[in-house]
Structure 1
Amino acid sequence: MKSLSPPLWSWLRRALPGLLLGWALGVAAQTAPAPDALADIGPATQRWLDGALQQAQASGAGLRMEVQVGQLDPRLRLAPCARVEPYLPAGSRLWGRTRLGLRCVEGAVQWNVFLPITVKAWGPAWVLAGNVNAGKVLAAGDAMQDEVDWAADFAAVMANPEAWIGQVAARPLMAGQTLRQGMVRAPELFRAGAQVRVTVQGPGYVVTSAGQALGAGAVGQMVRVRMDNGRIISGTVSEDGTVGVAL
């Protein structure tokens, strides 16, 4: 396994002030503000990163982070500003393709713009060695470990092989795909119409009976069962295929 760099907030805290300053200098060339108009960008960015970024990117520890900074619309004509404040827009996070807000908080005109950025988080993950048909049970040989961009998709990476070995492909999968949550599901222990054992547990008692499953069942799923007396109940499927009902 390759050695990994410090987490995102540490890297971005060092790099972003310079990136923002470079952008702001380009704006300054268009708007010709006073020489000290950009003086507060570095400290403001530092404070913001110390707070929001360190908390928001705690999950990025141990990954090798990269940040690609896009460009603002060249048609923008922004008024001079003595203090530009960076912020993360509501509903956004520093992961994958996102944006960083920049707003003027001290100027004749209080403007607000968004700078597109792409955050990549490189780390070890499991990549499919070949195509996998939907419904196939995955074995250890179906994937190999490689360094991938965790932030290329919002679905979480299944870095632990126990999360996917023995699971079933939920859809057709292609060679080279990184295994992520939602790509596999637990295997079915029984199908609709199968006879299943039902365990009903209440205060101080346990009753075991039989019934007919009204749907397919996998470990941990809720399933409806029609009992011999016609009553329909819902319970959770256990590892041995028993449907447990708690009263």
Structure 2
Amino acid sequence: MRSLIAIILIAISGNTALAADSTGPDEILAAGRAFMEDFVRQQQDEGLEASFTLGSLDPRLKLAPCTNDRIDVEFSSDPMETTQPSLLVSCQGERPWRMYLSVSLEIHGDAFVAARPLNRGDRITRAMVTTQRVQVNSVRQGTITRLDNLVGLEMKRSVRAGTPFTPHLVITPDAVARGDHVMITARNQGFAVSTRGKALANARIGEQVLVENLSSSRTLRARVVAPGRVEVAM
């Protein structure tokens, strides 16, 4: 009887050692679930609602034990731009490993959308914008989340009412247009002189544009620094 008990104890001890000698799907799924639950709480703090479903793993999966007792998890793609982001699960132990865990994710929240049909070239005003509850991470290229970053931009193409605003739908408008009178400033360290000029083409802030100095009739290449203002390096 004592021999039988000893054999059973040895078998149990051996199985326990074997289990501790590997990282299985239960540990990986638990780490992924904890990471996603924390992500959901973060979205709630931002006024968003998120829900997720983890993918499945082969129950026979056995990876090296995580000797530092920590499994690291991070998104391998932007969760705000896709409904199927993958989780990169890894361990930096003596025998490091990494793998991907699939996840289905829905994030719902208020997004800025067109209050009415808009045409290409329209300059966006507050009256053109309203909010609507949408699945944020199903909108390609992501949504614009700050109204101040939207008002004053120009539509790149026409859209219907209710279309979410994305960075790829809008563009910074021209700060100067061909024929506009502009202020030309020639600047170097500690010195600047200004004169009036005329823009010879359209340009946005940061772009180069040809301008005519109205005093000398000379044509200069200048950089647009603000609406109606350009600078020439000396």
Q: Considering the TM-score relative to the shorter chain, is it more than 0.5?
A: yes
CA change 1:71–1:129 in 2 (3 A) is farther
Percent identity of equivalent pairs: 19
Letter matched to residue 127 of structure 1: V
1:152 aligns with 2:138: yes
DSSP 3-state at the match of 1:190 = coil
**In the alignment, structure 1 residue 117 sits paired with structure 2 residue 117:** no
Contact conserved, 2:25 with 2:62, CA < 8 A, in 1? no
- Give the aligned partner of residue 99 of structure 1: 86
> What is aligned with 1:244?
231
Q: Which runs of 5+ in 2 are unaligned?
A: 1-17
**In the alignment, is the contact (CA less than 8 A) between 1:65 and 1:119 conserved in 2?**
yes
CA distance in 2, matches of 1:171, 1:124: 23
Q: Structure 1 residues 143, 213: CA separation in 2 closer, same or farther (over 3 Å shift)? A: same
Map of 1:1-247 to 2, 5 A cutoff? 38=24, 41=27, 45=31, 49=35, 61-62=45-46, 63-70=48-55, 79-81=61-63, 83=65, 87-88=73-74, 92-95=77-80, 96=82, 97-102=84-89, 113-153=99-139, 155-192=141-178, 194-218=180-204, 220-228=205-213, 230=218, 232-239=220-227, 241-245=228-232
Q: Report how many aligned residue pairs link the two structures.
A: 201
Contact 2:43 2:49 in 1 (8 A): no
Tell me, in whole angstroms, the C-alpha distance in 2 between the residues paired with 1:40 and 1:68.
15
Structure 1 stretches lacking a partner, 5+ long: 1-33
Distance 1:100 1:47 in 2: 10
**1:177 corresponds to which letter in structure 2?**
T
Aligned partners of 1:156, 1:79: CA distance in 2, in Å? 35
Specify the structure having the higher radius of gyration (Cα): 2
Equivalent residue number for residue 19 of structure 1:
none
Quick check: 1:224–1:235 contact (8 Å CA) kept in 2? Answer: yes
The superposition leaves residues 177-202 of structure 1 with CA deviations (integer Å, 9 ceiling, x where unpaired) of 21222322333343235443211233
